[in-house]
Structure 1
Amino acid sequence: MRLAHHPQPRPAALPPLAEVLAVTRVVAIPARTRFRGVSVREAAILDAPRGASEFSPFPEYGDAEAAAWLAAALDFGWHEQPAILRDRIEVNATVPAVAAEEVPAILARFPGCRTAKVKVAERGQTLADDVTRVRAVREALGGDARVRIDANGGWTVEEAVAALRALAEFDLDYAEQPCAGVDELVEVRRRLGARPEDGPGTAHAQSDALLQAGAVRIAADESVRKASDPLAVARAGAADLLVVKAQPLGGIRRALGIVAEAGLPVIVSSALDTSAGIAMGLHLAAALPDGALDGACGLGTAALLDGDVTADPLVPQGGGIAMRRPTLDPEALRRHAASPERAAWWRDRITRCYARLVGAAH
């Protein structure tokens, strides 16, 4: 694959640390349904000069990785952003690894959405659980909807190939991060493109035919946002499209540069953000050049939280979300305020990550 050469933008000037800490409010918002092990979402919300911003790398992430999230939050809160090309973003429903009977209630939180991304490969669950859940989503949405799956790197190559064969009957739009490594993604794509050794009429042969006819694609998420080289996945031919997130990639400008370099279609997603973080993702999706977006974006996840930082959350209506920046609600910030100990932990984390950004600038 020939990659375009677009220089990465220079980082914007950092606001003073004291100013950042002065406008920081730390929240802890319960999830309506446990989501990838998260039952309470913590986030540092910045009441910044250009509007609400968010710093919310998950607690287990180290400072080196979290610093990119802080760069994104500061850039979005203190600096002018690239121009937008669209005023509304279509979004997908996100279905956690719930039992099949819970699927209709989850989908009801995403009114009008005709695309769903289903979490699979949950620790402690089986492939049979995944098949049952995906079947429930397909039956609820109908044959003309798009259904995607996201394994968060939870399968080996062999498990991924077996799972995609088992799920082929549901006409998947794509499989997101079926395996953790770039080389593994390459191998999954190779195996799914090859003819099976089984004879005609076997289950494997039939499901491979379905995969090829339905053009099931491989999407990369963690292999982009958690990689030291986010373009490695494109150079290796390991994915058909990329899932990009503004916070982990260091902000909207840097994400746009990565998309231009990679030359692959993209979906913009969130990391279970509050509406302050969702606004950043919406701006990224709205600023992408025409033709870059490959369908509904994973930016409806504020609907999975039992609360928000605004009185008017950025949640799906009619299958999409209109472009806007939420106004922080003091009462919501008070109601969901984290404990003093957790607030101090997040402020210390901001201070450490800020020092890394200062060091990188010199």
Structure 2
Amino acid sequence: MRTLIDFDDAPVIAVPTAAGPRYAVLVEGPQGWGEFSPPPDADDALAARWLTAAMEPSTVGWPDAVRGRVPVDDGARRLSVAAGDVDAAVARIGDLRAGAIEVVLLECRDPVDARSVRHRVDVPIAVDAALLLADPQCADIAILRCGPSGGVRRAMRRAERLDLPALVDFTGTTSIGLAADVALAAALPQLPFACGPVPGWLAEADVVSEARSLIPRDGHLPAAPMPAGPDPVRLQRFAVTDAETVAHWRGLLRRAAAML
């Protein structure tokens, strides 16, 4: 199916954020659009997983939803903590525990560190599902991320293997990518936690029409069988014109495609 996607002319976009531009390549397949937006330092293997996620909606489609909309967290009840230093992470969690934090999203590379933090705090710890596959006892909750997992189906398979409560963390840069995150949350058999949060820049910097932009209403986002396509005017506004940057992202895209 990848032969039906035009990688050479796929538009490269840059969305302004407080931390600098977020880049993405929008890929159009036989049935619609997807978003390829791996981190800038992604190697080809990680980029290939992001491309699989981008191609999924327009080729095989997403699994059927079991709910028509998903709850979205505004960040008030969750805390993101980096666990580069276990003692510092434990202290930060302890300082903010009185604020009724529902769950801590722990960013770390070593399951041993995650396990150490978990045993020293009294709030549920969530880590990326890949870390839990290495040590199923290192956290209480699996964080599912559609893009780096390789799409909705692969993320769901990770959740099934772990058999733990799951939390969906949004990885999309635009509403095209965000629709995949919502599709994952909508298809999970159980959704005990709100998802998100929606990127703060989305209200001012999206490539789909205003009517299709995934801005939460009443604390929820609607699930859809396909992402919206880009609005031509908005797409032009965020299109990258620098030849070197375009070449870099299309090169990464082609290398990722070659690995599929």
Q: Is it true that 1:256 corresponds to 2:160 in the alignment?
A: no
Question: Which residues of 2 match residues 1-362 of structure 1 at below 5 A?
Answer: 14-16=1-3, 19-21=5-7, 24-31=10-17, 34=18, 38-94=19-75, 116=76, 147-151=77-81, 153-177=82-106, 179-192=108-121, 211=122, 216-221=123-128, 224-225=129-130, 231-234=133-136, 237-289=137-189, 292-301=190-199, 303-304=201-202, 306-312=204-210, 313-324=213-224, 325-339=227-241, 340-357=243-260
Query: CA offset at residue 334 of structure 1?
Result: 0.8
- Report the Cα distance in structure 2 between the residues aligned to 1:303 and 1:323, rounded to whole angstroms: 20
- Report the Cα distance in structure 1 between the residues aligned to 2:29 and 2:201, rounded to whole angstroms: 24
- Report the count of equivalent residues: 255
Compared CA separation, residues 178 and 165, structure 1 to 2 (3 A): farther
Query: CA offset at residue 263 of structure 1?
Result: 0.5
Q: Which runs of 5+ in 2 are unaligned?
A: none
- For 1:131, the equivalent position in structure 2 comes to none
Query: CA offset at residue 191 of structure 1?
Result: 2.4
- For 1:142, the equivalent position in structure 2 comes to none
Counterpart residue identity of residue 300, structure 1: V
Q: Greater CA radius of gyration, 1 or 2?
A: 1
Compared CA separation, residues 277 and 265, structure 1 to 2 (3 A): same
Query: TM-score normalised to the size of structure 1?
Result: 0.66
Give the RMSD, CA atoms, in angstroms.
1.9
Query: CA offset at residue 81 of structure 1?
Result: 2.0
- Report the Cα distance in structure 1 between the residues aligned to 2:87 and 2:7, rounded to whole angstroms: 47
Compared CA separation, residues 305 and 57, structure 1 to 2 (3 A): farther
Q: Contact 2:207–2:235 at 8 Å: present in 1 too?
A: yes
Look up the SS of the partner of 2:102 in the other structure.
Answer: strand
Cα deviations by residue, 1:267-286 (Å, 9 ceiling, x for unpaired): 11222521010001111111
Query: TM-score normalised to the size of structure 2?
Result: 0.91
- For 1:132, the equivalent position in structure 2 comes to none
